[in-house]
Every structure is written in C-alpha cells, then in structure tokens.
Structure 1
Amino acid sequence: MRNVIQVVREALLTNFRELDQWFEKDQALLHFKPDRDQWNIREILEHITLTNYFLLLIINKSTRRALERKKTGHTVILPADYQDKLNQIDVIGSKSFGWVRPEHMEPTGFKNIQEVKTLLKQQYAQCMYNLSLLKNGEGVLVFTNMSVNQLGKLDIYQYIYFLTKHIERHIRQMQRLEKEFEESAVLI
C-alpha cells in the first residue's frame, strides 16, 4: 500500500512542479493560439484548475467517508488487480482517447494568471493533505465512478492519480503549443 501512496505522491509532486514552471514563460507564448478554436496555455492552466476543483470535491468527500469507515472497523485490502487499474489510468496522460468535457470545465480566459497559479498551489496542498490523512490505506475503502475513458469505480488514491494524469495530458498539450510557437517564430 505504501508503494501506491508513494506513486501517487510522486505523480502529484512531479506534475504540479511542472505546471509551476509554465507561469514563468513568456507572455507571448502564454497567449499563443495557432488556431482560433484551440486553447492557449493560459486557458489550459485555467481548465486544469476547474477540473481539479470538481475532482477535489469528490476526493474530499470520499476522504471523509473513508476515514469514517476506518473508524467503524472496515478492513483495508488491496485488490490483486490494483496495478491494472493504475495502468488504465495512465492512458489519461496521453492523447489516445476521446472525451467531451462538461461545459463547466471550459476556461473563460478571463482569470488572472496569478489567481490560476494560487489555485493550483492550493489544489496541490489539498491533494497532499488528503494523502496524509489516508496514509494507512484508508483510500481503498471508498469507490467513486469515473466515466472518463470508461474507467469505472476508482478508489481515492486512483482518483488522485487520475487528477495527476489529467494534468500530465495538458502538460503535453502545452509542450506541443510551445513547439508550434517556436516553429512559427522561426518562420517569421
């Protein structure tokens, strides 16, 4: 169980650290849109905060339920196919599936970049706090359905891991935008 928690913790640390670096990028890059219907990096960062907000509503509620279940004597047992589910979640970090996001997760583009940065820092802290509360495996006591990519029921650790893979997916998107930006600058 400690290995699972460590994997999730490392994914949080790595991906939020990577996100933090995007706030130091040139303003022209942050606003660059190669296509009118495409998000710029500022909008992607805002989208991540919106998605994290809704995922954390579920994670926070599930964490409280898991701690209650632990108090009432529920036993923590890690399923034999646990790694398989983490492997399914890994796909979220790539571009290899389609999913239509809900409208409430669409960025407006109006949020101040510093506000977005602050929200991400708070969301990181909240994820780490939940992990600290679930340090003895309590995160496997509550499952919540995840419709994305037909993942099905995820425990809290898997839900947080999903959050990190969603971030990873958008980090790759921002890296592609940065490459397009650099290529467009060379053409000029």
Structure 2
Amino acid sequence: MRNVIKVVREALLNNFKELDQWFEKDAALLHFKPERDQWSVREVLEHITLTNYFLLLIINKSTRRALDRKSAGHNVIVPGDYEDKFRQIDVIGSKSFGWIRAEHMEPTGFKEMAEIKALLKQQYAQCMYNLSLLKNGEGRLVFTNMSVNHLGKLDIYQYIYFLTKHIERHIHQMERLEKQFEESMILI
C-alpha cells in the first residue's frame, strides 16, 4: 500500500510542478488560440482548476467516510490485481480516447492567472493533505464510480491518481499549443 501512496504522491508532485512552470510562459503564448473554438493555455489551466474542484469534492467527502469506516473497525483489503486499475487510469493521461466534458467544467476566460495559480496551489495542498490522512490504506475503504473511459469503481488513491492523469492529459495539450504557437511565429 505504501508503494501505491508513493506513486500517487509523486504523480501529484510532478504534475503540479509541471503546471507551475506554465505561469512563467510568455503572455502571447498563454492567450494563443490556433482556432477560434480551441482553448488557449490560459483556458486549459482554468479548466484544470474547475475539474480539480469537482473531483476534490468527491475526494474530500470520500476521505471523511474512509476515516469513519476505519474508526468503526473496517479492515483494509488489497486484491491481488489492485495495480491493474492504475494501468487503466494511465490511459487518461493520453489523447487516445474521446472525452466529453461537462459544461460546468468549461473555462470562462475571466479568471486572472494569479487566481488560477493560487487555486492550483490550494488544490495540490488539499490532495496531499488527503493522502496524509490515508497513510495506512484507509483510501481502500470507499469507492466512487468513474464513468470516464468506463473506469468503474475507484478507491480514493485511484481517484486522486485519476486527477493527476487528467492534469497530465492537459499538459500534453498545452505542449501541443506551445508547438503550434512557435510554428505560427516562424510563419510571421
């Protein structure tokens, strides 16, 4: 179990650290849109905060329930195929499948970059705090259904890992936007 928690913690650390670097990029890149209906880097970052917000609502509630169940004497059981689900979640970090997002996770474009950065720092801290509360496997005591890519029931560790893979997916999107931006600058 400690290895799983370490993997999730490292995924959080690496992906949020990567996000932080985008705030140092040139303003022209942050606002660049290759097409009118595409998001800019700035909008992608805002979308990540919105998605994290809704995922953390579930993670926070599940964490409280897991701690209550542990206090009530429930035992943590780890199945032999436990890590298989993490491999299924890894696919989320790529662009290999379609994903229809909910309207409430669409960026408005009105949030300031400083606000987006502060939200991401707060969300990172909240994820790490939840992991610290679930250090003895308690995250296995609560499952929540995840419809994205037919993942099914995820425990809290898997749910937090899903959050990191969603971030990773959008880091790749921002890297593609940066490449398109650079290519457009060459043409000018």
TM-score normalised by structure 1 residue count: 0.99
- Letter of the structure 2 residue corresponding to residue 177 of structure 1: L
How many residue pairs match? The answer is: 188
Once the 2 structures are TM-superposed, how far is the Cα of residue 125 of structure 1 from its aligned partner? 0.0
Once the 2 structures are TM-superposed, how far is the Cα of residue 4 of structure 1 from its aligned partner? 0.2
- Letter of the structure 1 residue corresponding to residue 44 of structure 2: I
Partner of residue 65, structure 1? 65
Q: Does 1:16 align with 2:16?
A: yes
Q: Does 1:42 align with 2:42?
A: yes
Once the 2 structures are TM-superposed, how far is the Cα of residue 35 of structure 1 from its aligned partner? 0.4
Distance in 2 between residues matched to 1:35 and 1:107, nearest whole Å: 16
Matches within 5 A, 1:1-188: 1-188=1-188
List alignment gaps of at least 5 residues for structure 2. none
Partner of 2:78: helix, strand, or coil? coil
Distance in 2 between residues matched to 1:81 and 1:106, nearest whole Å: 35
Distance in 2 between residues matched to 1:80 and 1:92, nearest whole Å: 23
Once the 2 structures are TM-superposed, how far is the Cα of residue 80 of structure 1 from its aligned partner? 1.2
Distance in 2 between residues matched to 1:128 and 1:63, nearest whole Å: 12
Once the 2 structures are TM-superposed, how far is the Cα of residue 77 of structure 1 from its aligned partner? 1.1
Once the 2 structures are TM-superposed, how far is the Cα of residue 52 of structure 1 from its aligned partner? 0.1
Distance in 1 between residues matched to 2:80 and 2:47, nearest whole Å: 35
Distance in 2 between residues matched to 1:169 and 1:80, nearest whole Å: 28
Distance in 2 between residues matched to 1:100 and 1:161, nearest whole Å: 20
Partner of 1:80: helix, strand, or coil? coil
Partner of 1:178: helix, strand, or coil? helix
- Letter of the structure 2 residue corresponding to residue 82 of structure 1: Y
Distance in 1 between residues matched to 2:172 and 2:155, nearest whole Å: 26
Distance in 1 between residues matched to 2:78 and 2:151, nearest whole Å: 18
Once the 2 structures are TM-superposed, how far is the Cα of residue 81 of structure 1 from its aligned partner? 1.2
Partner of 1:23: helix, strand, or coil? helix
List alignment gaps of at least 5 residues for structure 1. none
TM-score normalised by structure 2 residue count: 0.99
Moved over 4 A (4+): none
